[in-house]
Amino acid sequence: MNLEILCTQVQELAREVGGFIFEERLKFTADDIIHKGKSDMVTYVDKTAEAKIVAALQVLLPGSGFIAEEGTAQDNGEIYRWVIDPLDGTTNYIHGISPFAVSIALMENHEIIMGVIYEISLNEMFYAWKGSPAFLNGQEIHVSTAATTADSLIATGFPYYDFSKLDHYLEAMNFFMRNSHGMRRLGSAASDLAYVAAGRFEGFYEHALHPWDVAAGIIIIQQAGGKVCDFNGGDNYLFGGEMIACNANYFDEFYGIVHQHLG
């Protein structure tokens, strides 16, 4: 398998599906919104985009499995599995704000070997594969070199269905708001991770995540020189529902702060 060629094909697919998503943004109405939870919504755009992605990936890599947000295809323990979020940032999309992104990752057994994140509104394609640098629109990217909270801009995601750690979340936010360049909550974990890889954010943390939120971002950050872990410093960040992502210079300090409040 030539991962570079496959990654190029997946980028083309993400751009094609992203074009569909962008064109549909003004066509759907409130009647098209399905509420999976109070703040967890889906539209026909998500579902159609996922179906398009799954159909194309089945051709690109026959016999592969799927871990996909909208359940278009199933994971049956195949060696190669795609992890797909067809529209990360659906709430942003519904309200007409950015960012929102297509996120596609490929796993070989338990290892992520490729990731593509296409931030649609800015036409930004982030990608990497096993052994490659990380790229943004063909240009190599790297994580930030900042080494302290005082020099960092921090990203997070607000809880929207699991509020079990809300008080601890607010404590961590209080610290970062007082001691860093500031905090941002974009509403798209895939975009947050891509921005860490590109050096726009120094660190990101969030809990109540799903594999499709983070899979592509994990390898892009790692190939850009960054690090990821769970809130206790372990490697249960893909399926464990929580993640810390950071540049290498700031990682120890950032992890220590997040772990103190949320570990």
pLDDT digits (tens, 9 = 90+) for 214-228: 999 999 999 999 999
91 or 111, greater pLDDT = 111
CATH topology of domain 149-262: D-Maltodextrin-Binding Protein; domain 2 (3.40.190)
CATH superfamily membership of 3-141: Fructose-1,6-Bisphosphatase, subunit A, domain 1 (3.30.540.10)
26 or 254, greater pLDDT = 254
Q: What is the mean pLDDT of residues 79-99?
A: 94
Domain with CATH 3.30.540.10 in the chain: 3-141
pLDDT at 39: 45
- The C-alpha atoms of residue 259 and residue 249 are separated, in whole angstroms, by 17
pLDDT at 177: 96
Q: Is 18 exposed, middle or buried (0-12, 13-18, 19+ CB in 10 A)?
A: buried
**Does 40 have pLDDT greater than 60?**
no
For residues 135 and 141, is the Cβ–Cβ distance under 8 A?
yes
**Does 258 have pLDDT greater than 90?**
yes
Domain with CATH 3.40.190.80 in the chain: 149-262
The beta-carbon contacts of 232-235 under 8 Å, at least 24 apart in sequence, are 232/259, 232/263, 233/259, 233/263
The full length of the chain comes to: 263
> Which pLDDT band holds residue 165 (cuts at 50, 70, 90)?
confident
In degrees and rounded to multiples of 5, residue 199 shows phi and psi of: 80, 10
Q: What is the mean pLDDT of residues 227-254?
A: 97
For the whole model, what pTM was predicted? 0.94
pLDDT at 26: 82
